[in-house]
Amino acid sequence: MLAQLIKIPHIITTNIEHPSVLETYKLLEKRKLAEISIVPVEQSGIIDPKKIKREIKNNTVLVSVMYANNEIGTIQPIREIAKEIKHWKKNQKSLFPLFHTDAVQAVNYLDLNVEKLGVDLLSLSGSKIEGAGRVGVLFKKAGVMLAPVFGGGDQEQGIRPGTENLLAILKFADALKLVENIKEKETKRLTSLRDYFIAKIQVLDPRISINGDLQNRLPNNVNVSFENIPSDLLVVELSSRGIMASAKSACKSKEAGGSYVIKAICKKPNGELGGVRFSLGHQTTKTDIDYTVQALKEILLKLKKWYN
């Protein structure tokens, strides 16, 4: 009903969303199908819920904020944002905006209880869960009406036509159960390894900076910047030693320039804007961390000859 009354709907998001989300909203704006407000995060990589609320207008139909960032691992205050949106809707006596969160990076470690989070929509991807396969999930709160993405059938509650991939769906369900069973224990283990890794990195060189909040971040994520040393070069050097790291989101890895997520929180706009992301996993051990730290020590010693 509201969508019919609003000629140009308004969407609010942040400047560190995953490209699959951020670029979609930008495309909608380019095609004049929506008005987009992109709210900048703080230098910690975390959004201020009050800033989200200040952007809400009468034609705002959607607020979309990722649960956890894929590059710097920062965890967003989803519950607090939901409260701000709920407060605005109550005062305005409105059913909108709806609140969506991209929980793709959060699924292995954070609470996905949608009632506690206060979200209307939540998206997941099986690609981030070991053994889940290539399947996506969109939770929608009861009563939320969604238009089908294209025509052709009434599958998936009339939203997405086409024969369901039952095998992928079952694999995802089993993988999700497994994740829930080991989540608490694995989160504790990886948090300890992450903090150990960060402490070791920080004593290597005072010019090394950790990107993103040190506390409100995923247990498997360590993202660092090395002043004056190109991140791509560091990734190559690490790879030659059997250490897989990345300079930015895989979805943007072929684009020239630094990471837009690192740029969003960079304290030195004229300096190196790259970051190197290390992702810990089920098989990561303390021995792996020590090996990586020693490799970084050797690489930095080598590269300082050219980048001091």
Q: Which of 214, 251, 257, 290 is catalytic?
A: 251
Has 266 been annotated as catalytic?
A: no
**Is the preceding peptide bond at 97 cis, omega within 30 degrees of 0?**
yes
Q: Are 193 and 280 in contact (CB under 8 A)?
A: yes
Q: Which residues, listed in sequence order, are joined to residue 68 by a DSSP beta bridge?
A: 75
The amino acid at 215: Q
CB atoms within 10 A of CB 240: 10
Whole-number Å distance between alpha carbons of 277 and 103: 19
According to DSSP, residue 74 is labeled: B
Whole-number Å distance between alpha carbons of 232 and 63: 34
Q: Which residues, listed in sequence order, are joined to residue 62 by a DSSP beta bridge?
A: 11, 98
Q: Are 297 and 217 in contact (CB under 8 A)?
A: no
CA-closest candidate to residue 81, choices 36, 117, 124, 123: 117
Whole-number Å distance between alpha carbons of 299 and 229: 11
Alpha helices in the chain (DSSP H): 2-5, 19-30, 49-55, 78-92, 114-117, 166-202, 231-239, 260-265, 286-307
The amino acid at 239: S
193 to 5, 87, 216, 218, 287: CA distances (angstroms): 52, 39, 15, 12, 10
Catalytic residues: 251
